[in-house]
Amino acid sequence: MISIDTDSPVPPYEQLRLQLSEQTRTGELAAGTRLPTVRKLAQDLGLAPNTVARAYRELETDHFIETRGRNGSFVSAQGDAAEKQAQEAARAYADRVQKLGIPRSAALAYITGALDS
């Protein structure tokens, strides 16, 4: 979840950039996750679209996110090559179990079981 306080001395674009980069770094936002469009996020947060676009641009410069043409902006894989591959595999697994309608708890149990075996 992103929270923006317009009364804060920290500029809104900086609050947005910091929170998104932190969530990307910690894995809360998994690699391959599609971010909302600039316009949608600006409306949600009551900000000007330019403010959100500036935060996205800086995140892209820092390789936290990547823009794939008209498909939108996506979270980039972080860390070394092995970590990047693991994050991409995790994203693919999450997409698959969601499509199959498998509950979160069961999906996590399968992963734990596979890792323990």
Partner 1 sequence: MFIATILLALALIAISVIASVIAWSQRKTAAVRFGKRFGLEVPDGLEPSIRDGIEARRIGSPIGTAICVVIAAVLLLLNPGLNLLATWWCLFGAYLVGLTLGSTTAILIAEQRRGHGAVRVARPKAVSVNDYVSPFQTGFARFAVVLGILVFAADCWLAASVSPNYLSLISGILAALGVATLIAYEVIAHRLISRGALAGTPLELAWDDGLRSYALTNLSGTVGLVPLYSLIAYDTLLLNTTGIASNAFFTVFVGLLPIAGTVCVLTLVLLMTRIHARQHFLRRLWPELAVKVDNNVGGTYTSVMGGR
Q: Which residues bind partner 1 (CB under 8 A)?
A: 1-7, 19-20, 23, 29, 33-37, 39-47, 72, 98, 103-105
Q: Whose Cβ is closer to partner 1: residue 6's or residue 50's?
A: 6
Q: Whose Cβ is closer to partner 1: residue 9's or residue 81's?
A: 9
Q: Which of 1, 21, 27, 18 is nearest to 84 (CA)?
A: 27
Instruction: Please give the helix or strand (H or E) that residue 23 lies within, else none.
Output: helix 12-26
Tokens of 93: 């697994």
Residues 107, 92: Cα–Cα separation, whole Å? 13
CB of 6 to partner 1, least distance (A): 5
Q: Whose Cβ is closer to partner 1: residue 29's or residue 77's?
A: 29
